Amino acid sequence: MSIDLEKRVNQATPVLENEEAFFILASGETLEVAIQRALKEAVPFIMKLKNLSWAQAYMYASVACDLSISQVVNPLKTVKVKICK
């Protein structure tokens, strides 16, 4: 595994990448807040990645992205949005 810091990327939350997908991580005091933060970052990311309008990226996220819980044991809950390449 290698980690690169992309300083030219303007993201409020971490974005991980592997051969298949990008993963946007977000945390919050509740799962609902974490999910809202992750999706708030995911839609603009998809807009840039896929060259879509906001509405198109929002629809893409609803049908093509997977949301999963990363952890709930710490005070903050963390989720990730998987965006396939």
Check whether 78 has a pLDDT greater than 70. Answer: yes
* Residue 41, pLDDT score: 94
CA 60, CA 55: separation in Å to the nearest integer? Answer: 9
Domains of the chain: 15-84 (3.10.28.20)
- b (16+ CB within 10 A) / e for 70-82: eeeeeeebbbbbb
Q: Which two tokens stand for residue 9?
A: 């990327």
C-alpha count within 13 angstroms, C-beta hemisphere, residue 7? 0
Report which of residues 4 and 82 the model is more confident about.
82
Tell me the pLDDT tens digit for each residue of 7-57: 656 677 888 889 999 999 999 999 999 999 999 999 999 999 999 999 999
